[in-house]
Structure 1
Amino acid sequence: MPIKIPDTLPARKFLEGEGLVVMRESEAARQDIRPLRIALLNLMPLKEKTEIHFSRLIGATPLQVELTLVTTGSYTPTNVSKQHMLDFYKPWEEIKDQKFDGLIVTGAPVETLPFEDVAYWEEISNIFDWTQSNVFNTLNICWGAQAALYHFYQVPKHQLDDKIFGLFPHHIVKKHSILLRGFADSFPVPVSRHTETTKEDIVKVPGLEILAESDEAGVCIVRDRGRRQVYMFNHLEYDATTLKDEYDRDVSQGLEINPPKYYFPQDDPSQVPLNTWRAHAHLLIANWINDVYQNTPFNMDDIGRE
């Protein structure tokens, strides 16, 4: 089944150009099925690119998904037009009385700040609490994963001496996990972080399962069945050139930055990087959505009552 997104969302033309089947709102209304309701809390500065990243992955699954774009009301983003936000995003306060099968919380460019110093921390905390009653399962990405673990369990993040930056090999820790179904024993994952959440802190919390990790980049994916949360510290959703764009930006600003490790062919920043991780990005999102589909209540009013 295709993904249902607003008819005029700029990401639509891009995704249709890739061959993704994108359903128009009028077509979705004619189908006598209940689509999965997935919300995307987009905290990334480049909103439109992030919309494409996740819509591409969600729309490749065999289920009809209705995607709702969500923003914080306590902070106004500055890297995207106000009209884009008004046309396509709903403040969380506006949708907080609704139920969702799934929620994706993205990363945010605030990872070096203490959590409580983030402008929208109080609202994010309320959103995490809200997931326990109004969302069946939540996928938290990068800073979103760190923030959720800190909110629920006070698991700290640690400042790194040097940024972890590159395409690092990872391996499966929890074999036969439904979220890693179809994964190779070793798989590459884009990583771009100034902080980390350590394995030593995670294993102190009963009920947290480490699913995948890297010898160099640390923990990658953690599952929390009790709170129906998944914590993904890295960026399988990235495009082939996203790390290159970050590197070029930092170089142009005169910042001291090493090229991302294991990323450029022959470690040569002048060469075009290849996307060697997209298949695993599709697997992770498809597995997550399938797990939600198999277990979420058909009657959405029952979400959060278990």
Structure 2
Amino acid sequence: MAPIRIGILNLMHDKVATQQRFERLLKQAGQPVSVTFFYPVSHYADRPVPELVAKISLPLDLKQATAMDGFIITGAPVENLAYDEVEYIDEVRNLIDALNQAHVVQLYVCWGAMVAANYLYGVGKHRLAKKYFGVFENQVVAPDPLLTNIPRIFLAPHARYAELNEEQIGANLTVTARSKEGYLTSARGSEGQSFLFAHLEYGQNALLEEYQREIAAHPERHYQRPSHYFQDEVAMKDPRFGWQKTQAQYFDNWVRLVAAERSIKVCKIG
């Protein structure tokens, strides 16, 4: 059987770590998978593409993207910006259009989920009073194929400065899980798109590394520490990995969904 082809537009700060996380999770799902990473060309319109980025990913090409069986758009450190202020927003919107027209299975994560919900279903976002950051309890509130075999109450890491305007969510977008504090965890679009607002792809140390990266970039600012995460909260030591089983199940479910949709396409062509 030919490998399931997954494309990923990697918009995260930590390019290498992000690629390693997704590749590991997708390839451990129990089915042959090939993963291709892309970068937004417009992000480097006025400067050279960094050598590392060019080495580990390809320039986004819609023809290549729509040849994939499934596609993921990651989070991005731009949720405090208005969508039209993001330099690669047109490229992302064109990609979403192309994926829908080609009936490619889609998974949108964190900022990727926000921008897709806005573009596809007109749902805006608002800035939070403080970063929602840490490991929180979440509850399944509606059926979702990606939450199959996941406990009704489960842990997941969240890391974001913004949230969708829920009063704008209509019948075309169904919230399928939310955190104990009421924040969005996942949703399902009427056309089958999956929206993940938590960072279930994060490994054990990812929240700590994100906090350290923010502190290093702006040591003069106060940054929210990740909550409910460390065994030693005072010293910020020994991160817990309470979402590991949920993580594996979620991405296994998604790969199975992609495989099933590919089989349907093959049958129709045949």
Relative to the length of structure 2, the TM-score reads 0.90
Partner of residue 207 from structure 1, selected from 167, 172, 181? 172
In structure 2, what is the equivalent of residue 172 of structure 1? 140
Contact 2:176/2:186 (<8 A) preserved: yes
In structure 2, what is the equivalent of residue 17 of structure 1? none
Partner of residue 272 from structure 1, selected from 216, 238, 241? 238
1:265 partner SS: strand
1:160-199 → structure 2 map (5 Å cutoff): 160-175=128-143, 177-199=144-166
**Shift in Å at residue 83 of structure 1?**
2.9
Most deviating of 258-267 and 38-47: 258-267
**Identical aligned pairs, as a percentage?**
30
**Shift in Å at residue 256 of structure 1?**
1.1
1:235 partner SS: coil
* Cα deviations by residue, 1:38-63 (Å, 9 ceiling, x for unpaired): 10110112110000110111011111
**Shift in Å at residue 297 of structure 1?**
4.4
1:1-306 → structure 2 map (5 Å cutoff): 33-76=1-44, 82-93=50-61, 95-96=63-64, 98-175=66-143, 177-202=144-169, 205-216=170-181, 218-226=183-191, 228-252=192-216, 253-297=219-263
Most deviating of 208-217 and 66-75: 208-217
**Shift in Å at residue 163 of structure 1?**
1.1
Size of the aligned set, in residue pairs, is: 266
The letter for the 2-side match of 1:224 is: G
How far apart, CA to CA, are the structure 1 residues paired with 2:185 and 2:260?
Answer: 24
* Cα deviations by residue, 1:138-169 (Å, 9 ceiling, x for unpaired): 10000000000111122001111111111111
* Cα deviations by residue, 1:92-140 (Å, 9 ceiling, x for unpaired): 2364474211001000111100001100011111011011123521100
**Shift in Å at residue 270 of structure 1?**
3.2
* Cα deviations by residue, 1:51-82 (Å, 9 ceiling, x for unpaired): 011011101111111111111111129xx983
CA spacing shift, 1:68–1:199, aligned 2, 3 Å: same
Contact 1:187/1:277 (<8 A) preserved: yes
Relative to the length of structure 1, the TM-score reads 0.80
Contact 2:211/2:226 (<8 A) preserved: yes
